[in-house]
Structure 1
Amino acid sequence: MSGSTATFDLIVVGAGIVGASCADAASAEGMRVAIVEPGPIGGGATAAAMGHLVAMDDDPAELALASYSLGLWESFADLKEAEFSRCGTLWVARDDRELAAAAARIARLKAADRDARLLDAASLHELEPALVRGLAGGMLVEREAVVYPPRVANHLVRRAQSRGTRLFAGRRAQALYRGGVQLDDDTRLGGPVLVATGCALPDLLPMLPMRARKGHLVITDRYPGLIRHQLLELGYADSAHGDADSSVAFNVQPRPTGQILIGSSREFQANDASVSPSMVQRMLERSFAFVPRLRGLQALRIWTGFRPTTPDGRPYLGAVPGAVDQWVAAGHEGLGVTTALGSAKLMIDLIQGRRPAIDPAPYSPQRMAA
């Protein structure tokens, strides 16, 4: 098909969890969809992600998008390949100051229809006996869950294909033009274009700033029952949304297999994918301080990934400034999995000229042109 042109109602560039969700949502409405993906489906940041479905409450816009999307994730609870596990999220308070702050967080979550409750120290240790003694308490969000993102992305793409979506696998979008996109084999695809390429966004849309934020994860052998909930320190948001060149935070996840996934780290000035032993050690020591028994476990694998991060921490969801029929869904930092489904619904509503279920203004790429 080299040099020829095919026309679609929507061309989605990128098949990570966000792009796959957009293609699925568009095809569900009968749109003729194309997906362009040079690498594996669900690769990149999606393949490296923890897969925690969580509502972060420190930014009202972020909370609105997460809450909307979490409701959509409920339809995946019985999907075998999603590996959906409703382990709940247990936020851990080191001291009375953090515990007092948790009460305000609970109020914000409840205002967004997310149930959460405060725990004293005794209740915390009853739920998670492996936690170190001396913690002040915590906050439990029972209905949050974890999934396996690459398999979900593959499911979404297959479902879109079953509705007629065409996958241009192994092809790279080389350039956007008015009315479509040109691929690296000179194929031209005509129609509105939605760019969902994460950290690679500036390759096609250089006017939208994006930084890659490196992270490490460690997965252990199987230790069923040692950890029961997704565990995070209540200061996690300071790491996730801070501007420090590097930071670590306690973030541990029980996988349905019995393995334990240990995070998390963030680095702005690290551009290669190699594992940093010093950063891994720093991250692990943070987790050992909360769960001392982790120190004796057998680690099986360590890997890195890159979170796409916008200057203000909010994703770009909407029309590309100054362009016609060009759209963008990228820059979700560490919440791409959580917010993928909601982002996709919002995008298709905008493309179809409908009012989305939540206010799209906070995510509009136009804010970069202001």
Structure 2
Amino acid sequence: MSQPAEADALVIGGGIVGAACAHEMARRGLRVRVLDNASGGATGAGMGHLVAMDDNPAELALSHYSIGLWNQLRTRLPAACAYRNCGTLWLAADNAEMDLARAKQAALAEHGVAGELLDGAALGALEPMLRKHLGGALKIPGDGILYAPATAHWLLHETPGVSCERATVRAIAAHRVELDDGRVLRAEYVVLANGLAARDLLPALPLRAKKGHLLITDRYPRQVSHQLVELGYAASAHASNGTSVAFNVQPRPTGQLLIGSSRQFDTLDPAIDADVLAPMLQRAVAYLPGLAQLNGIRAWTGFRAATPDGLPILGRHPQEKGLWLAVGHEGLGVTTAPGSGRLLASLMLGERPDIDAFAYRPERFATLAALPPAPGTAP
């Protein structure tokens, strides 16, 4: 049974990206209704880092822009969001990798991201738990961390004009959402922002699952002050095949250490895979030998939604004019959520976005740009 429009926009997905989209649309005066099945998704499983990533210019533009927006929100975030401006140390394993650090510093500086090169001695003084004789590091002081589930909840429930409903969506179309209880909701704008699950509603989306493992330790007196990432992390993060691990450790405000990271393709099995978790932890201990003496209290997995080119899909569906897409953020959904939300809202309302939206356009993928078959014809 069709119901009259109760909102100007319907957002499918209440994770960090959907919440940011809802927040931005409501800021512009739209009535926004968020539909979420409470599965948690990637928002409930990720690390929650806010990191300027520079694998390509479009990735850096969106991540740097988004960190600036997080900085505008940071004083309003409640304690439960656990925001910390801890910065990131990109670690060079040896002197040869310091060349990578210098190149990264230059690339980030071109986009206004400040960075400081540290030699091995300075690095050891900052983070004495690291193994001795590392080559040094690039320090990015503007990076931070937050607790993404609490932050998404805050954006959804403390933004005037946003309402939330626990619901499972069965089908979507331009201006129309059908729920599994038979209700049909209508709105001027329908936003698909539910990560990997978006494939179930729009199979043409070129999204691929990347499974990841994380482990968190017990609480200890402060062991690490910065987010620690090896310089080889980007190669692992953007690999397109196989299984890979990289060193990534994040200090939580609780005194715990959150340990990552791994990537596996083409599996939707949520079970812990010892053949992946073990080398991930071995990699972590190789950089932080003292980790071997700490208790790990929980390990879990999650699934990132990756596009073929590693960039999110942000914009209007080429063939469904009332349907808007905010998916495919892979491992940068928390970092890039506010930028994605603001960019999408600007495009919806005919505003000029603060950054160039061309690289994220949905029609760059043939499966989305192709015209649907005419009625009555064979597919």
1:56 has 2:53 as partner = yes
Further displaced range: 276-285 or 177-186: 177-186
Determine if contact 1:45/1:306 at 8 Å carries over to the other structure.
Answer: yes
Superposition map of 1:273-288 within 5 A: 273-288=270-285
* Partner residue, 1:118: 117
| 2:171 is the counterpart of 1:172 | no
Does residue 1:269 correspond to 2:269, yes or no? Answer: no
Partner of 1:226: 223
Residue from 242, 245, 248 that aligns with 2:245: 248
Q: Does 1:98 align with 2:97?
A: yes
2:9 alignment counterpart? 10
Counterpart pick for 2:316 among 316, 319, 328: 319
In the alignment, does 2:183 pair up with 1:187?
Answer: yes
How far, CA to CA, are the matches of 1:130 and 1:308 in structure 2? 33
The yes-or-no answer on 1:20 pairing with 2:19 is yes
Residue equivalent to 1:142: 141
One-letter amino acid of the counterpart of residue 95, structure 2:
D
Query: Greater CA deviation, 245-254 or 106-115?
Result: 106-115
Report how many aligned residue pairs link the two structures.
364
Q: Structure 2: how far apart are the matches of 1:240 and 1:31?
A: 36
Aligned to 1:329: 326
Tell me by how many angstroms 1:96 deviates: 2.2
Counterpart Cα distance in 2 of 1:140 and 1:346: 28
**1:309 equivalent in structure 2:** 306
Contact 1:83 1:256 in 2 (8 A): yes
Query: Equivalent residue for 1:367?
Result: 364
Return the letter of the residue paired with 1:341.
Answer: P
For 1:358 and 1:62, locate their aligned partners in 2 and report how far apart those are by CA, in whole Å.
11
Residue 295 of structure 1: aligned partner: 292
Contact 2:192 2:198 in 1 (8 A): yes
Q: TM-score, normalised by structure 1?
A: 0.96
The answer (yes or no) to whether the contact 2:174–2:190 under 8 Å persists in 1 is: no
Instruction: Decide whether the 8 Å contact of 2:157 with 2:163 is kept in 1.
Output: no
The letter of the residue matching 1:84 is Y
Give the gaps of 5 or more residues in structure 1. Answer: none
* Separation in 1, partners of 2:237, 2:32: 34
Tell me if the contact between 2:173 and 2:323 (Cα under 8 Å) persists in the aligned partners: no
Q: Counterparts of 1:244 and 1:325 in 2: how far apart (Å)? A: 35
- Residue 204 of structure 1 is matched in structure 2 by 201
Which residue of 2 is the match for residue 259 of structure 1? 256
User: Is the Cα–Cα contact under 8 Å of residues 255 and 261 in structure 1 kept in the other structure?
Assistant: yes
Tell me the CA shift for residue 3 of structure 1. 4.7
Contact 1:36 1:167 in 2 (8 A): yes
1:355 equivalent in structure 2? 352
Structure 2 residue matching 1:47: 3-state secondary structure? coil
What stretches of structure 2 of length at least 5 have no aligned partner? Answer: 370-379
Counterpart residue type for residue 181 of structure 1: V
In the aligned structure 2, how far is the partner of 1:102 from the partner of 1:173? Answer: 45
CA–CA distance in structure 1, aligned partners of residues 226 and 165 of structure 2: 39
Residue type at the aligned position of 2:33: A
Question: 3-state SS of the aligned residue for 2:14?
Answer: coil
8 Å CA contact retained: 1:350, 1:356: yes
Q: In 1, Cα distance between the equivalents of 2:301 and 2:19?
A: 22
Offset, 1:224 = 2.4
Give the equivalent residue in structure 2 for 1:89. 88
Tell me, yes or no, if the aligned pair for 2:11 and 2:192 is still in contact at 8 Å: yes
Runs of 4+ in structure 1 over 4 Å off: none
**Are the equivalent residues in 2 in contact too, given 1:18–1:336 (CA < 8 A)?**
yes
Q: What's the CA shift for 1:7?
A: 4.1
Say if 2:156 and 2:163, in contact at 8 Å, map to a contact too.
no
Q: CA RMSD in A?
A: 1.2
The residue aligned with 2:338 is 341
Q: For 1:5, what is the secondary structure of its paired residue?
A: coil
Shift of 1:65: 0.1
Q: Tell me the distance in 2 between the aligned counterparts of 1:302 and 1:30.
A: 42
Q: In the TM superposition, what whole-angstrom CA distance separates every residue of 1:49-96 from its partner, at most 9, and x where no partner exists?
A: 101100011210000000100001013333222111111100100122
User: What do residues 228-270 of structure 1 show as CA deviations (whole Å, max 9, x unaligned)?
Assistant: 1100000100000012321000000110010000000100032
- TM-score in terms of structure 2 length: 0.94
Match of 1:45 in 2: 42
> What SS does the corresponding residue of 1:35 show, helix, strand or coil?
strand
Q: What is the distance in 2 between the residues matched to 1:58 and 1:179?
A: 35
* Contact 1:8 1:189 survives alignment (8 Å): no
